[in-house]
Amino acid sequence: MKKLLLILALFCPIIISGCAITPFISPIVAGVVYWKEGEASKYYNFDVDACYRSTKRALRDLELEITEDETTDDGYWVVADENDRFKINIEKAEQNITVVKIRINTFGDKPYAELIYKHIDVNLGIIEFDENGQPVKRRQIISNQ
């Protein structure tokens, strides 16, 4: 009986707090889309460059034209589609951990963001090769777009 009360005492605050606890849990959970103020965030166990290449391939697969593509201090900033509809920020969270943040228009579009994340997930395992069978470097991918 004492063990049951101890377990309830430990887990009851987590259950009652609901979504209030997610900002503290989300950085350690990979593969979960976290929404805050109309912006979706998802953590990946890959480096920034791999997530950047995967994001560009995902946008290409979805036939979304990239209108802005910049390097930032801690990652990349990509804007896609007409009227700058998709704003994607790819940032280094920690060593080999990257957060990809997507904002669609002003208020967000959860199903569309999850579709983009799905395509990013699929493209993370893809390595592009040139005509000589050598892996394509990041600069070559950028110049080909």
User: In Å, how far from its chain's centre is CA 90?
Assistant: 7
- pLDDT of residue 9 exceeding 90, the answer is no
What integer is the mean pLDDT of 94-102?
91
Cβ–Cβ under 8 Å, residues 63 and 125 = no
- Tell me, yes or no, if the pTM score tops 0.75: no
83 or 119, which is more confident: 119
Domain 33-144 has CATH 3.30.310.50: yes
Which of 66-75, 107-116, 128-137 is modeled with the greatest confidence?
66-75
Phi, psi of 49 (to 5 degrees): -65, -40
pLDDT digits (tens, 9 = 90+) for 27-77: 444 456 766 777 889 999 998 988 998 999 999 999 999 999 999 898 999
